Chain A
Amino acid sequence: MKELSLHLLDIAKNSVTAGATELELSLVEHGGALTMKVADNGRGMTPEFLKNVMDPFTTTRTTRKVGLGIPLLRLAAQQTGGDLDIQSAPGVGTTTTATFHTDHIDCPPLGDLAGSLSLFLQGAPDTMETRYIHETDAGRFELDTREIRAILGEEVPLSTPDVALWLRDYIAENEARLIS
């Protein structure tokens, strides 16, 4: 995965699998430090599972024994001198925090955040609300699916192609403001 936005999309999908109803995705960039956080109120992990979750041969899947999302993100973070931290408790939820040194030569670009985020929202269940926060030295952008749903009403889901494409362009315009 060549873009951090793809990691964000991938890790956020774990929260969907965990049955979360509330998800917060945040990117905070100040100076040369970037913190990417995915926090949910899903089913959480037991201490035993959490202990092994960085291991690529750990997964909740039953079809096979490999789960690469978390190990790939940890590798990407550590390559820049950053790290990955996961806090989780059963019944409470999981918070995954990756830190990056953006001035490191091995730090991947954020990439197409608008595309990744809009497609994540397109595929997320209607039972989950997502809040996205991106903060840089140049400003801050927040998006909450509750606000979008309030405008769309109950009949029009976020999975509708017209809505997903509107979201993509809307996010792209707001993201462009954050580049200093």
Chain B
Amino acid sequence: MKSLEELKAIREKMQKQMNIRQDDPDAIRVVVGMATCGIAAGAKPVLNAFLEQVQLHGLKNVTVSQTGCIGVCRLEPIVEVYVPGEEKVTYVKMKPEMVSKIVQEHLVNHTPVTEYTIGAAE
């Protein structure tokens, strides 16, 4: 069973890391569109996959957040990645299977996965 004790352990672990996450000049933001259009297109498992992968790789500089409708509903699920000093990258028609590649190549190695981007889809 999941216990509240485990939650305390997470708190202790995170408190040690928090300062790093906030003050890091390499702070990367992953934003998942979670409006009606995104949810209906399958954004929930995509967001879940990002949380799992970020935890798996221990990426302390990455925050995963949610937003409303990004504006191109027909290309949902849409994920935007903001890396400081680099151009925003928009990934479209996302599936959970595509997430690990983006985390590995883009979030870790700073090389966007071009074939998943809006530029490749349009």
Contact = CB atoms under 8 A, between A and B. Distances in A.
B50 to A, nearest CB: 8
A61 B67 CA distance: 13
Main secondary structure of the interface of B (DSSP, over half): helix
What is the interface residue range for chain A against chain B? Answer: 35 or more
A86 interface: no
Contact of B65 (A63, A68, A123, A166): A123
Given A63-B69, A123-B65, A148-B7, A162 B36 contact: no
Contacts of A153: 11, 15
Contact of B39 (A6, A164, A168): A6
Given A63-B69, A166-B2, A156 B10 contact: yes
A112 B45 CA distance: 10
The 5 closest A-B pairs by CB, nearest first: A123-B66, A170-B2, A161-B51, A161-B55, A69-B36
8 contacts: A9-B34, A69-B36, A119-B34, A122-B47, A123-B34, A151-B8, A152-B7, A160-B14
